[in-house]
């Protein structure tokens, strides 16, 4: 009996020591994991940006995944909150009209996205993102499935980005500037009072079907690759989630957006980013050309043709990009307007990481908004500073843009060319993603 008591007492006395050893072993494992995760946060090339909203690195945070990796479920959160200041020109109006030079200023939240992305059966990728900050059809930001026969042959259907322009196709949380180039987003000016005809060069999200893929052109690692995207979309924009199209009265084909993009990458796959604090060592480059025809767009009033060329590069801490694009607008026969109009724009931007947390950038944006048949254009230089809090995925951005007018024949043309665009624009943005 005495031996039993002694053995029991010895066991009880040893428990704290055993627990301490177990805790120490657990802490060592935990520290190793933290060190590994910290290293991933500092540098990784394996960042999944297919969802178009945010980049998901190897340290995926909360992710459900099967042992064989064929089933992956990743919820994500993305938010942007902005403080904005916009100063508008008088546009030649007399001060007696008491117009406000400062407008569209204050606080805004362009994105408050909840989404789910992942893979099923090892071949079918999916993505669903809801933007609670939007209204109408824009609440559904993306919803698509992507079936992968091979990396070179994939089918995607649903609501997603149309294959135009590096600026739009960059992952939402990976852009150098908080605001897209004005030359892509501003509506062009037509000499007709048609409220429904306000096309812009950029197209953005839409409902449709796409065949796409990437293939290696060289067996060497990080060498030449080619990518392609071709498909059909409604052509009615992200605000419409219903089938509203018809057959073209002029061309006798479905009144849809027919579009495609072809890219070449000499240094391996080009990630959809304009600078990422986790990717400061590698090099990537892309050359691309895109084009499309939107048949009977703008409430069945016009046929819009778009062509663009693009170049982008990531090299260590540097990022650079340049794009040029052209849009041809012709009216349908029912409008009884014989004239055609051409518009074009371009931009170039450059970014550099001074530290792992501090990035600065410059952009020059150009737009022939009133058409090539009239003198005058808009030039819009901009500057940005981004600060990353890498431990918790915060990004703080401060941006300024000036809108200048040059070469117009009359003061009226000069005043009309920047209608709706602020002369001075300042944006302070806080971005969080998980």
Residues of the chain above pLDDT 70, percent: 83
How many domains does the structure of the chain reveal? 1
The answer to whether 428 and 82 are in contact (CB under 8 A) is yes
- Max mean pLDDT among 27-31, 39-43, 66-70, 200-204 falls in 200-204
Average pLDDT in the chain: 85
> What is the tens place of the pLDDT at every residue in 368-386?
998 888 888 999 999 999 9
pLDDT in tens, 295-315: 988 878 889 999 999 999 999
Residue 34 within any structural domain of the chain = no
- Whether 37 is in a domain gets the answer no
User: The whole model's pTM is what?
Assistant: 0.84
State the burial class of residue 46 (Cβ atoms within 10 Å of its Cβ: 0-12, 13-18, 19+): exposed
Residue 23, domain member (yes or no): no
Please check whether residue 376 lies inside any domain of the structure.
yes
| Residue-wise pLDDT tens digits, 78-118 | 999 999 999 998 766 666 665 788 888 999 999 999 998 88
Q: Establish if 28 belongs to a structural domain.
A: no
Average pLDDT of span 351-356: 95
Residue 251's domain comprises 43-433
pLDDT for residue 171: 86
Is the residue at 149 inside a domain?
A: yes
- Torsion angle of the four alpha carbons 35, 41, 42, 47, in this order, in degrees rounded to the nearest 10: 130
Q: Is the pLDDT of residue 33 over 50?
A: no
Q: Strands (DSSP E) along 132-224, which ranges?
A: 140-150, 153-161, 205-216
CATH at residue 74: 2.40.160.10
Residue predicted with more confidence, 219 or 88: 88
CA 257 to each of CA 195, 249, 295: distance values in angstroms, whole numbers, following the listed order: 21, 15, 6
The answer to whether position 35 is within a domain reads no
Distance CA 93, CA 95 (A): 6
Half-sphere exposure of 120 (CA within 13 A, CB side): 8
State the CB neighbour count (10 A cutoff) for residue 319: 23
Give which of 160, 177, 178 is closest to 169, Cα–Cα: 160
Are the C-beta atoms of residues 260 and 290 closer than 8 Å to each other? Answer: yes
pLDDT confidence band for 250 (50 / 70 / 90): confident
Note whether 136 and 239 are within 8 A (CB): yes
State residue 2's pLDDT score.
52
Please determine, for residue 22, whether its predicted confidence score (pLDDT) is greater than 90: no
> Has residue 11 been placed in a domain?
no
């Amino acid at each position: 009996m005495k031996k039993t008591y002694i053995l029991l007492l010895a066991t009880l006395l040893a428990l704290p020591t055993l627990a301490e050893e177990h805790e120490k072993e657990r802490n060592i494992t935990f520290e190793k994991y933290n060190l590994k995760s910290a290293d991933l946060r500092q540098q990784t090339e394996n960042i999944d940006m297919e969802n178009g909203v945010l980049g998901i690195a190897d340290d995926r945070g909360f992710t459900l995944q099967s042992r064989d990796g064929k089933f992956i479920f990743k919820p994500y959160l993305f938010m942007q909150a902005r403080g904005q200041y916009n100063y508008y020109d008088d546009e030649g109006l007399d001060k007696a009209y008491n117009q406000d030079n400062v407008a569209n200023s204050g606080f805004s939240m362009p994105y408050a996205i909840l989404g789910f992305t992942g893979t099923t059966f090892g071949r079918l990728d999916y993505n669903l993102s809801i933007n609670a900050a939007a209204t109408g059809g824009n609440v559904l930001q993306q919803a698509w499935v992507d079936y992968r026969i091979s990396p070179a042959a994939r089918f995607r259907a649903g609501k997603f980005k149309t294959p135009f322009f590096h600026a739009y196709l960059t992952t939402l949380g990976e852009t150098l500037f908080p605001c897209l180039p004005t030359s892509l987003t501003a509506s062009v000016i037509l000499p007709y009072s048609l409220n429904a005809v306000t096309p812009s060069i950029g197209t953005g999200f839409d409902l449709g079907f796409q065949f796409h893929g990437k293939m290696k052109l060289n067996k060497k690692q990080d060498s030449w690759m080619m990518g392609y995207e071709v498909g059909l979309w409604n052509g009615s924009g992200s605000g419409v989630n219903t089938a509203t199209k018809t057959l073209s009265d002029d061309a006798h084909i479905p009144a849809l957006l027919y579009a495609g993009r072809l890219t070449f990458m000499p240094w391996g796959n080009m990630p959809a980013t304009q600078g990422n604090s986790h990717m400061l060592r590698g090099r990537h480059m892309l050359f691309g050309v895109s084009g499309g025809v939107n048949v009977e767009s703008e409430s069945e009033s016009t046929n819009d043709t778009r062509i663009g060329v693009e170049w982008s590069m990531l090299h260590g801490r540097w990022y650079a990009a340049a794009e040029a694009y052209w849009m041809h607008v012709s009216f349908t026969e029912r409008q009884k307007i014989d004239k055609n109009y051409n518009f074009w724009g371009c931009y170039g931007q450059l970014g550099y990481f001074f530290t792992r947390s501090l990035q600065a950038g410059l952009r020059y944006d150009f737009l022939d908004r009133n058409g090539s048949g009239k003198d005058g254009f808009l030039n819009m230089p901009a500057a940005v500073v981004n600060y990353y809090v890498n431990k918790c995925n915060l990004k703080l951005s401060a941006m300024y843009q000036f809108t200048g007018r040059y070469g117009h024949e009359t003061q009226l043309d000069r005043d009309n060319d920047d209608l709706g665009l602020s002369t001075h624009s300042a944006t302070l943005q806080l971005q969080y993603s998980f």
